[in-house]
Chain A
Amino acid sequence: MKQLTDDRMKVFFEKLSKYIGSNIKLLIDRSDGKYCFREKKDRVYYVSEKVLNMGSMMNPDNIISIGTCFGKFTKSGKFRIHITSLDYLAPYAQHKMWIKPAAEQQFLYGHNVLKSGLGRITESTTQYQGVILFSMSDVPLGFGVAAKSTTECKHTDPLSVVCFNQADIGEFIRCEEDLI
């Protein structure tokens, strides 16, 4: 249970800013208490100070999760975002895509989103921009990367991919064992 080093902090925030932009500061300055990011076994947890105090009294070996896991650092030093962070990132998302009900299932099975399944898209989404995907009833479904910009999306053919799947809530069932 340790604080993130500056390097890792930088990598981590860069990744987060792809999805929620400058809203990161809203995650840290909260009205309902102090919240912080802690690293444990390369995983980054977002946890309130109160809970952290409780956790700090326990043997780290016996703690398997504390607060919410945001993702992990890979061996190559990059940060990989986990689906478990969706609850915190979805409300602050800057670029969104809405998926039609018919394509929902496909996405939840880990597939990319095709143009035919795209319901709505935030204007001014650029190519390779991190997006958060929602169902048409505004239920967050996962993370993705825009394969095409908004304008390109309008003119492409229905079978072309518009969003690459990065993480989806189907993983809660598919990879329950190694979720974090």
Chain B
Amino acid sequence: MGRKAKFGDDGAVKQIKGPGRKAKKQKPPKMLPGLPKLEGDDEPKKLSHRQKQRASRRSKKKEERKLIKKEKKKGVNKDDNVKNINEVSDATKIIKSEIVKQFSDSNSSWLKSKNSKSIIPEKDDDVESYDSESDIDDEVEEENGLESFDEDGLSDDDDYLAGTLDDVDSSNESGIEDTIKKKTSTKKRKAEESDDELLPIEKAAKKLKAAKKKEDAEANEEMKMQINVASQDVFVFPASDKIDEHIPIPEVEQRIKDILLVLSNFNKFREENRSRQEYTELLLKDLCTYFSYNTFLMEKMMHLFPLEDLMSFLEASETPRPVTIRTNSLKTRRRDLAQALINRGVNLDPIGNWSKVGLVVYNSTVPIGATPEYLAGHYMLQAASSMLPVMALAPQENEYILDMCSAPGGKASHIAAIMKNTGVLIANDVNKNRAKAVIGNFHRMGIANSVISTYDGRHMPQLFKNFDRVLLDAPCTGTGVISKDSGVKMSKDETDLQRCFTLQRELLLAAIDSLNFKSSTGGYLVYSTCSVLAEENECVIDYALKKRDVKLVDTGLSFGTEGFTNLRQHRFHPTMKLTRRFYPHTHNMDGFFVAKLKKFSNIIPKNDETEDNEEDIETNNVDAETTEVQNTVEKPVANIKKPKHGRGKNRVEKNK
């Protein structure tokens, strides 16, 4: 269809001109300049206007030179014959001298100069050939003239020249080698000569090229230097008066990376007379500026994670987690729901092997919280991590279950759905306004077996002591859900944390007290928080283990990181590894903690330990630093176990 390319001249048919639809037919496509040309295109090109100008200038110059030369020769040598010979043999003379310059040994007769080309940068050659290829013959002559003018003074080579004179004459017919030599040398000369005749822009280009080459070489050198330096000195610690200086964010980022590198191999990269503490303090300061945390919280984070995990945690906390929904098994099945949502233009997938009701929403053309399916109660918008405590609780049908802090009702409705609307669920939340959300969600999801109350959870045991299972999703600082609420980073300080874990301890004890240990099916309690701090998780559980007759049991969750048994100054109960921690950077869900306890009796252990503990807690609260120092001083070296995480993991080697 349409046009056919006619690249060669032979096949070309002239376009028929005249009226008609196709009168203004498109021309055949032009060859791209970079493509190899067809054979038919070889005919000599016409000179461009500039080329003509340059050629005329050249011929003018040549004539001028000839005149000068003649005048000179008249003065130097009056013998016409010699002059003639000189003129004729100029070419060979130059060739020879060139060759002599390049090949000093005897095999110059057959050895071709490989460098002659590469000496000249290729592109320059191209540029050169662009305007001079057509009149090579011209140039050769002209160059001969030029060179002879330059080398006239060389009289030593005269004999030699005379000898080669025949050579030159015969070269046109027979001397192949010689012609090759001649060609290469002419090329070189061309380049040399062209230096004089280059346009200013070409000169500039050449200069640039040379400069770039030099720069590259220098850069290479520098690279080598840096590699050498890296092994010696990675990071220069800022002077003490400059530490408090404000520096721009990109520099802070670089410095964080540097310090992390130093700390990763401290012995190798450290500066003399700088302690690890100095580095960590600077890192703390930089991380606070870079991620805009307050110092207190960042310090806690640094204690919690090994350094390589710290960065990934902090970065993961900045990005939102995927939207997940939970199918309401009371009203629909996951497959039906997925189909209905896909028909509305929602792109989703099952959440994973561990849940039969979860779906991940990748993107959606409709608001996912306002589809008719949502309004009909077929699903609930719920974070993946919020499904875990309910799965750990494993509610059974016809049980009495308490959700102590239920708002907005996500986990509670999940419990009711697993119970299939049998038994009794008490969804309690102390905040009346937040509890209203529970009303809406429960009615929407069709949950009928529930009482929604607004008691203070701490008073629950005064009302009921017969629950088979209790879920305590305690109020917390929310350090695991920074991606949802970044205000946490700045607003939470030591008193907030202290208030949180005091409340959590009270709630946990109340929750344990309201459990019925005689229950045939249950007697279980699940404690969860959306915080990653050990103070709100392991410490609280450890406290409850000491205060009540409860034991940790397996959560039944197939994944998640084990809880800490050792963390800095804390030594938790060894069964603490049955608890589960979830992190944004490893599990791609909100930071979360889940622990499952089983109650064995109503006995409240009273021994000396409790008082000690209380004291311990108080001192911890008031001044964690001092206790830490005391602990490390008091404990004999042999007793210190090597912790898995945190700064202390190299402690044993250090002490040895």
Q: What residues make up the interface of A, taking CB atoms closer than 8 Å to B? A: 32, 46-48, 50-51, 54-55, 57-58, 62-69, 83-84, 87, 104-105, 108, 135, 137, 139-141, 169-170, 172-173, 176-177, 179-180
From the candidates A55, A58, A64, A108, name the one contacting B435 in the complex (CB within 8 A).
A64
User: Is B372 interfacial (CB-CB < 8 Å)?
Assistant: yes
- Min CB distance A20 to B, Å, is 17
User: Complex formed: what's the CA distance from A169 to B424 in Å?
Assistant: 26
- Contact code string B423-445 (vs A, CB < 8 Å = 1, else 0): 11010000010011111101110
Whether A173 lies near B370 (C-beta < 8 A) is: yes
Q: List 23 A-B contacts (CB under 8 A).
A: A32-B422, A46-B448, A47-B448, A51-B448, A55-B451, A58-B463, A62-B454, A64-B432, A64-B435, A64-B452, A64-B454, A65-B438, A67-B448, A67-B451, A68-B448, A105-B372, A137-B340, A169-B375, A169-B376, A172-B375, A173-B369, A176-B436, A176-B440
- 5 interchain residue pairs of minimum CB distance: A84-B443, A169-B375, A65-B452, A87-B446, A176-B440
B364-399 with Cβ < 8 A to chain A:
369-370, 372-373, 375-378
Whether A68 lies near B376 (C-beta < 8 A) is: no
- A63: B residues at CB distance < 8 A: 451-454
- A65: B residues at CB distance < 8 A: 438-439, 442-443, 450-452
Whether B443 lies near A58 (C-beta < 8 A) is: no
- Min CB distance A175 to B, Å, is 9
- B438: A residues at CB distance < 8 A: 65
- Min CB distance B367 to A, Å, is 10
- Min CB distance B103 to A, Å, is 90
- Min CB distance A143 to B, Å, is 14
Given contacts A64-B436, A64-B439, contact A139 B373 (CB under 8 A): yes
- A141: B residues at CB distance < 8 A: 372, 376
- B436: A residues at CB distance < 8 A: 64, 176-177, 179
Q: Is the interface of B mostly helix, strand, loop or mixed?
A: mixed
Q: How large is the interface on B (under 10, 10 to 19, 20 to 34, 35 or more residues)?
A: 35 or more
From the candidates B375, B432, B464, name the one contacting A173 in the complex (CB within 8 A).
B375
Given contacts A104-B372, A170-B375, A172-B443, contact A62 B450 (CB under 8 A): no
Residue of B nearest to A32 (CB): B422
Residue of B nearest to A169 (CB): B375
User: Is B455 interfacial (CB-CB < 8 Å)?
Assistant: yes
User: Complex formed: what's the CA distance from A47 to B424 in Å?
Assistant: 11
Whether A135 lies near B451 (C-beta < 8 A) is: no
* Seed contacts A172-B375, A172-B443; 14 additional CB < 8 Å A-B pairs: A32-B422, A48-B448, A54-B426, A58-B455, A64-B435, A64-B454, A65-B439, A65-B443, A65-B452, A87-B443, A105-B372, A139-B372, A169-B375, A176-B437
- B446: A residues at CB distance < 8 A: 87
- Min CB distance A92 to B, Å, is 15
Whether B449 lies near A48 (C-beta < 8 A) is: yes
User: Complex formed: what's the CA distance from A108 to B371 in Å?
Assistant: 10
- A170: B residues at CB distance < 8 A: 375
User: Is B400 interfacial (CB-CB < 8 Å)?
Assistant: yes
Residue of B nearest to A57 (CB): B463
Whether A58 lies near B440 (C-beta < 8 A) is: no
Whether B449 lies near A51 (C-beta < 8 A) is: yes
- B442: A residues at CB distance < 8 A: 65
Whether B440 lies near A66 (C-beta < 8 A) is: no
From the candidates A58, A137, A173, A180, name the one contacting B439 in the complex (CB within 8 A).
A180
Given contacts A63-B452, A65-B439, A87-B446, contact A50 B376 (CB under 8 A): no
User: Complex formed: what's the CA distance from A86 to B510 in Å?
Assistant: 37
From the candidates A32, A46, A58, name the one contacting B453 in the complex (CB within 8 A).
A58
User: Complex formed: what's the CA distance from A177 to B340 in Å?
Assistant: 28
Q: Is the interface of A mostly helix, strand, loop or mixed?
A: mixed
User: Complex formed: what's the CA distance from A130 to B117 in Å?
Assistant: 99
- Min CB distance B443 to A, Å, is 4
Whether A139 lies near B376 (C-beta < 8 A) is: yes
Given contacts A57-B464, A58-B455, A62-B454, contact A108 B375 (CB under 8 A): yes
- B375: A residues at CB distance < 8 A: 108, 169-170, 172-173
- B463: A residues at CB distance < 8 A: 57-58
User: Complex formed: what's the CA distance from A169 to B372 in Å?
Assistant: 8
- Min CB distance A74 to B, Å, is 20
Whether B451 lies near A66 (C-beta < 8 A) is: yes
Whether A62 lies near B455 (C-beta < 8 A) is: yes
- B450: A residues at CB distance < 8 A: 51, 65-67
Given contacts A108-B372, A135-B372, A139-B373, contact A172 B440 (CB under 8 A): yes
User: Complex formed: what's the CA distance from A69 to B370 in Å?
Assistant: 22
- Min CB distance A44 to B, Å, is 14
User: Complex formed: what's the CA distance from A68 to B447 in Å?
Assistant: 8
Given contacts A48-B449, A62-B455, A173-B375, contact A68 B443 (CB under 8 A): yes
Whether A51 lies near B453 (C-beta < 8 A) is: no
User: Complex formed: what's the CA distance from A110 to B340 in Å?
Assistant: 23
- A50: B residues at CB distance < 8 A: 423-424, 449
- A84: B residues at CB distance < 8 A: 443
- Min CB distance A10 to B, Å, is 25
- Contact code string B339-376 (vs A, CB < 8 Å = 1, else 0): 01000000000000000000000000000011011011
- A58: B residues at CB distance < 8 A: 451, 453, 455, 463
- Min CB distance B628 to A, Å, is 43
Residue of A nearest to B429 (CB): A64
- A67: B residues at CB distance < 8 A: 448-451
- Contact code string B9-34 (vs A, CB < 8 Å = 1, else 0): 00000000000000000000000000
User: Complex formed: what's the CA distance from A105 to B463 in Å?
Assistant: 45
- B369: A residues at CB distance < 8 A: 173
- A137: B residues at CB distance < 8 A: 340
User: Complex formed: what's the CA distance from A108 to B463 in Å?
Assistant: 41
- B378: A residues at CB distance < 8 A: 139
- A108: B residues at CB distance < 8 A: 372, 375
User: Complex formed: what's the CA distance from A141 to B424 in Å?
Assistant: 28
User: Complex formed: what's the CA distance from A156 to B375 in Å?
Assistant: 31
Whether B451 lies near A179 (C-beta < 8 A) is: no
- Min CB distance A69 to B, Å, is 7
- A105: B residues at CB distance < 8 A: 372
Interface centre among B375, B400, B424, B455 (most CB of A within 10 A): B375
User: Complex formed: what's the CA distance from A55 to B426 in Å?
Assistant: 9
B490-506 with Cβ < 8 A to chain A:
none
- A64: B residues at CB distance < 8 A: 432, 435-436, 439, 452-454
User: Complex formed: what's the CA distance from A180 to B422 in Å?
Assistant: 23
- A46: B residues at CB distance < 8 A: 448
Whether B373 lies near A172 (C-beta < 8 A) is: no
- A139: B residues at CB distance < 8 A: 372-373, 376, 378
- A54: B residues at CB distance < 8 A: 400, 424, 426, 451, 464
- B443: A residues at CB distance < 8 A: 65, 68-69, 83-84, 87, 172, 179-180
User: Complex formed: what's the CA distance from A170 to B373 in Å?
Assistant: 11
Whether A51 lies near B440 (C-beta < 8 A) is: no
- Min CB distance B364 to A, Å, is 16
Interface centre among B423, B453, B454 (most CB of A within 10 A): B453
User: Complex formed: what's the CA distance from A62 to B423 in Å?
Assistant: 21
- A48: B residues at CB distance < 8 A: 448-449
Given contacts A64-B436, A172-B375, A177-B436, contact A51 B424 (CB under 8 A): yes
- Min CB distance A102 to B, Å, is 12
User: Complex formed: what's the CA distance from A179 to B426 in Å?
Assistant: 20
